[in-house]
Amino acid sequence: MVRGRRKNSPFGSRFVKPRVGAARSTVTEPGPVAPVPAPSVPRTEAVGELRPGHPLADAAMNDRLHAFEQGFRERFAQLVPVLKEVHALQHERDFQERAQRIVLDRLGYQLPEKALEDAWINDLDTRELYLHGTFELFDQVVNEYWAGRDDLVAEAESAIAYFLDCDFHEVDISPCSDGRLLGLRRFILRLPDLAVRVKSYAGAQFDIEEDVRHWTKRELLRFREGRPTTADVPSRYLKIAAYHYSGADPLHQGCAAHGNSERDAADGALHQLRAFRQAIENTYCCGASVDTLLIGVDTDTDAVKIHIPDGDTRMSLYRFVDSAALYRETQGLDEQSASLRVYQAIQDAIHQQGWGRGNGAPHEGMLRLISRLLLNNISQLEYVARYHGGHYADVGHRERVIIVGQEIEEMQVRNFAYFAHLETMEEGSDGIDVGVNKIFRKLNVERGLPVPVVIHYRYDRKVPGSRERVEARCRRIRRTIMERYRDLAEKGLIGCHMVIRDKRSGSRLEPLVA
Ligand code: ZN
């Protein structure tokens, strides 16, 4: 049974929320235990490009997101042409003043004086100017992000209320660090910036201990402050892991951390989710547990596969709803029939037989969240169809920077940055290695362009000494990176920009001098 209802939603104005009845299946047998090897995980076949125009898409939100994406990209697209212009002027008489004026007018920052002064000796150091310019523009887009966005807090509060309505008091997402997933929250899943926690790790191999600590912190807040629910409310903590694959070029443009194998990427993420739940259950007794959800993203189109948990909260690589198939199937329907079909697709997945068979349906809140995510993603597919011809032109890597440290929620434009969440260099070095060695050596170094690395951490101004400790940590990580990639550092082919800021949202970046 479905009762659609509309209300103003944090997820967009055309919100249709199917309330799913307690459709618990009576199937109790476990999945088939067959002696034959499992079939390969079904891959999404490209069935022609997605066409624009879908009854469930939020066109107004798509327009806003497109304006944001365009503005962001255009700013960075200016950098190389302007630097070329500066380069061409270096032997002119009033070079320094002219160069400064051009850069200030066109890009809004000042070139480093020393680099200009020394240009007559050994020519202009364009690698240094490229790094400097990338970092200046980076700071600009982050610092400007919050201007005039007073709606962000209200949007987040509304989303948190919605999650609670689905029985979740926390939504915590770990995607792969791959830059093509950078738009996961804002674009692909259409979730508000401040309502969900996102931490990226190479291959979605998130840090279980750290997440157990975060879970504990959330429980403490519920106990002590009743935020966002009191501890006696049986709401849950939801952990989502997002792996990725390429529908168009699965052998080359998949996940670098998993050798481009979709199956390995999905399996790796699922394994991590299971281990996290096990960790919580083993560490805290008395029914402590978490809900988990596995999502696959086709980085060519932003389509998702949502793996539906069963009544025992177990997921299977074979049981999912594919949003691209759903998009095509519902495109010609009216709005009501299309949203009903979304609900039915979830039910079909739940009741499937064979390898994907599970033990009944997940709880009602989970079903509602899944249908919400599918509907949100349909808007994103419409976006990709309308503004990118149904398929991204850059199916491969096109990242401009590597971000190391803590998440920068202002950076959510696809393929803009490779993001490696990092607490300590010892634990996080694999993630940076994938970024530098597997991605940026090919992307930048082979062309003689340096690898820009932004190191970002937050401090807590309420905690004495926190800023100093975070500053010291940034410097430590910078030293380790320059040491680790010494072959690049010696040729000026890698550069680090250290930025810290207060942990409250919307605070400005405070660059540290190296
Ligand atoms: Zn990946």
The verdict on residue 42 lying in a domain is: no
Could you tell me if 404 and 381 lie in one domain?
no
What are the distances in angstroms from CA 430 to CA 402, 441, 499?
Answer: 13, 15, 22
Could you tell me if 315 and 460 lie in one domain?
no
Could you tell me if 160 and 111 lie in one domain?
no
Distance 6 CA to ligand 1 centre (A): 36
Mean pLDDT computed over 155-172? 93
Mean pLDDT computed over 496-512? 93
- The answer to whether residue 320 scores a pLDDT higher than 80 is yes
The verdict on residue 204 lying in a domain is: yes
> How many structural domains is the chain composed of?
3
Distance 368 CA to ligand 1 centre (A): 28
Q: What's the pLDDT at 151?
A: 83
Mean pLDDT computed over 410-434? 85
The verdict on residue 39 lying in a domain is: no
Where is the domain boundary, 337, 365, 387? Answer: 387
The verdict on residue 7 lying in a domain is: no
Residue tagged 């201990």 (tokens): 209
Q: Nearest 5°: CA angle at 327, between 322 and 332?
A: 150
**pLDDT band, residue 285 (cuts 50/70/90):** confident
Q: What's the pLDDT at 38?
A: 52
* Distance (Å, whole) CA 496 – CA 442: 19
Distance 181 CA to ligand 1 centre (A): 8
The verdict on residue 63 lying in a domain is: no
Could you tell me if 122 and 168 lie in one domain?
no
Give me the active site residues, please: 178
Distance 262 CA to ligand 1 centre (A): 10
Where is the domain boundary, 327, 362, 387? Answer: 387
> For the domain that residue 281 is a member of, what is the CATH number?
3.40.1050
Averaged confidence pLDDT in the chain: 88
Residue type, 197: R
Q: Which domain holds residue 196?
A: 156-387
For the purposes of burial, counting CB atoms within 10 Å of the CB of 162, is it exposed (0-12), middle (13-18) or buried (19 or more)? Answer: buried
Distance 204 CA to ligand 1 centre (A): 7
Could you tell me if 234 and 380 lie in one domain?
yes
Q: What's the pLDDT at 42?
A: 52
Could you tell me if 232 and 190 lie in one domain?
yes
The verdict on residue 19 lying in a domain is: no
Could you tell me if 250 and 360 lie in one domain?
yes
Could you tell me if 362 and 444 lie in one domain?
no
Mean pLDDT computed over 6-32? 37
Q: What's the pLDDT at 179?
A: 92
**pLDDT band, residue 21 (cuts 50/70/90):** very low
Q: What is the pLDDT of residues 36-82, one digit of tens each?
A: 445 555 544 445 678 999 999 999 999 999 999 999 999 999 999 99
- The answer to whether residue 184 scores a pLDDT higher than 80 is yes
| Sign, Cα dihedral of 66, 367, 361, 330 | negative
The verdict on residue 22 lying in a domain is: no
Distance 11 CA to ligand 1 centre (A): 26
Mean pLDDT computed over 369-391? 96
> For the domain that residue 479 is a member of, what is the CATH number?
3.30.1330.140
Could you tell me if 452 and 508 lie in one domain?
yes
Could you tell me if 348 and 293 lie in one domain?
yes
Residue 508: HSE in the Cβ half-sphere, 13 Å Cα cutoff: 7
Could you tell me if 173 and 287 lie in one domain?
yes
Where is the domain boundary, 344, 359, 387? Answer: 387
> Is residue 256 classed as helix, strand or coil in its secondary structure?
helix
The verdict on residue 13 lying in a domain is: no
- Which backbone phi and psi does 296 adopt, to 5 degrees? -105, 140
Of the listed ranges 3-17, 131-145, 216-230, 266-280, the least confidently predicted one is 3-17
Distance 283 CA to ligand 1 centre (A): 29
Could you tell me if 176 and 295 lie in one domain?
yes
- The answer to whether residue 188 scores a pLDDT higher than 80 is yes
Yes or no: say if 204 and 242 are a contact pair by the CB < 8 Å rule. Answer: yes
